């Protein structure tokens, strides 16, 4: 990756993603920069989402994940616990955030 390529500002990425989402929904994107924005867009590192059943299968019956960092989406957090994902060809991703 060339260091000459400028990295877009987070707001620019959010604007482009928001615009694409509204277009797919068949709705016009809000015009005003000051208008309330019900659509949150976040760029994240590698992570996984687990169902309650998956948490029990991995960590035991009745186990509850420990919040480490609260995210922008209300009620969502990154857990202290991590998992290792093993894919095809035994390719691994260690310390995958939940």
For residues 24 and 96, the model is more confident at: 96
pLDDT one-digit tens code per residue, 63-73: 999 999 998 88
The pTM for the full model equals 0.52
Q: Give me the mean pLDDT over the 4-19 stretch.
A: 74
Please report which confidence band the pLDDT of residue 80 belongs to, taking 50, 70 and 90 as the band edges. Answer: very high
Q: Report yes or no: 85 and 49 within 8 Å, Cβ to Cβ.
A: no
- Half-sphere exposure for 50 (CA within 13 Å, toward CB): 22
pLDDT one-digit tens code per residue, 21-66: 777 778 777 665 555 555 554 445 578 888 888 888 889 999 999 9
Per-domain residue ranges for the chain? 1-43, 45-98
Return the closest-CA partner of residue 85 out of 96, 74, 98, 76.
96
Q: Within its chain, how far is the Cα of 85 from the centroid?
A: 17
Q: Report the residue count for the chain.
A: 98
| Residue reference for tokens 């590698």 | 46
Predicted local confidence at residue 12, as pLDDT:
76
């Amino acid at each position: 990756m060339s260091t000459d390529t400028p990295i877009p500002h987070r707001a620019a990425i959010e604007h482009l993603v928001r615009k694409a989402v509204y277009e797919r929904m068949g709705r016009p994107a809000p015009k005003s920069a000051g208008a309330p924005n019900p659509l949150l867009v976040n760029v994240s590192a590698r992570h996984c989402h687990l169902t309650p059943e998956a948490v029990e299968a991995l960590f035991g019956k009745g186990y509850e994940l420990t919040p480490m960092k609260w995210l922008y989406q209300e009620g969502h957090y990154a857990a202290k616990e991590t998992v290792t994902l093993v894919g095809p060809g035994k390719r691994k991703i260690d310390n995958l955030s939940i």
